Amino acid sequence: MYDGCDTYEDLRKMRDQQIKQVAKNHTELNRFHDGLMTQVVQLAQEKVEKERGPAPSSFSFFLMGSGGRFEQALWSDQDHGIVYESTSDEAHDYFLNLGKEISVGLNDVGYELCDGHVMASNPLWCKSFEEWKGQLDGWMEEETFEAVRHLLIFVDARVIVGRDEFIDDLKKEIHYKMDESPYLLKRMLKNTMHVKKGVGVFGQLLAETHGSHAGDVNSKQTAFFPYVNAVRLLALKERLMNTATLSRLASISDHTLGRSERKEYEDEFRKLLHFRLEYCKQENYDAVHYVTIDSLPKEQKKELKEMMKKGIELYNHTKKVIEKGCS
């Protein structure tokens, strides 16, 4: 697939030519994203090695956000980081430089820069293993909204280049701390409690009322977030390593969520992933999570409302489970 793709521009052309062919299937689309981003990292490594020599230690490049959860849409922004073994100043400079080159390459290939700077080009997300341990401990000890938000972002980390052990061991650190401080999970719940309503009191879909997406529904905030946030919290409660929402759901114990309920939520989330590819706008990153209500057939409006309602139902169940466990 990548024969002849020796530059970021080559990869961008290949992406534009091929992505719509795989965008009808969620799994194929995300495999495509993984392969494309891996290739960008390899080109970035080659460029940095020519300029600065080989990497001073082993490292892992990991995705977070929708990429970490294997849930990217047709268009996606960047959420990634680097963890490396060495603690030297040389390693710090080298891998931060690599992180910056990767961010440039991904942007050239079609992945928007992250507005919140959650990228390996930011020293906050590019650290040695020991520094990462210290940073995670700090986030878990803080009471601030931002520290908990950063922690929740990291929980979705998934390695695509390098050793899985770095990230697995860091996640175990989080789990150990949660064993010592059960209320940490309740703080995480508070961080995700705001849920944007997608269905009104009269059963109508609630569209944006102003701006460039007036008349559209934001499926990310009204439909995806309740599932993603709820299942991430349940996975943390059970100390699961999985990152994909469907994989996490399948691994949650019957005690926390009954088997039939799990199956029902899995089915609804699969429908939601397909719905996004089928009915959401596809022209650019800004539009990819929006769906125009007036363009939806009656049956799909009903389906969207049901998916939203089930997501809120799951989130409310999660809230009860966590509050009961921390009472």
The answer to whether 59 and 95 have CB atoms below 8 angstroms apart is yes
Task: Give me the DSSP letters along 87-104.
Answer: -SHHHHHHHHHHHHHHHH
Q: What is the pLDDT, as a whole number, of residue 59? A: 98
Q: What is the pLDDT, as a whole number, of residue 79? A: 98
How many degrees, rounded to 5, is the angle at CA 275 between CA 214 and CA 117? 65
Q: What is the pLDDT along the chain (327 residues), one digit of tens a residue?
A: 676 789 999 999 999 999 989 998 999 999 999 999 999 999 999 999 999 999 999 999 999 999 999 999 999 999 999 999 999 999 999 999 999 999 999 999 999 999 999 999 999 999 999 999 999 999 999 879 999 999 999 999 999 999 999 999 999 999 999 999 888 999 999 999 888 899 998 889 999 998 899 999 999 999 999 999 999 999 999 999 999 999 999 999 999 999 999 999 999 999 999 999 999 998 889 999 999 999 999 999 999 999 999 999 999 999 999 998 765
Beta-ladder partners of 292: 216
Alpha carbons 48 and 101: distance in angstroms, whole number: 8
Task: Give me the DSSP letters along 256-270.
Answer: TS-HHHHHHHHHHHH
The answer to whether 288 and 281 have CB atoms below 8 angstroms apart is yes
pTM over cut 0.75 = yes
Pairing relation of β-strands 126-128 and 158-162? unpaired
Alpha carbons 228 and 248: distance in angstroms, whole number: 10
Q: What is the pLDDT, as a whole number, of residue 202? A: 87
- Alpha helices (H) along 124-258: 129-141, 145-155, 164-180, 183-191, 219, 225-237, 245-251
Phi, psi (rounded to 5 degrees) for 298 = -55, -45
Name 294's Cβ contacts closer than 8 Å, sequence gap at least 6.
215
Q: What is the pLDDT, as a whole number, of residue 327? A: 55
The answer to whether 29 and 277 have CB atoms below 8 angstroms apart is yes
Q: What is the pLDDT, as a whole number, of residue 326? A: 65
Tell me the one-letter amino acid at 275: F
Q: What is the pLDDT, as a whole number, of residue 283? A: 87
Beta-ladder partners of 83: 60, 127
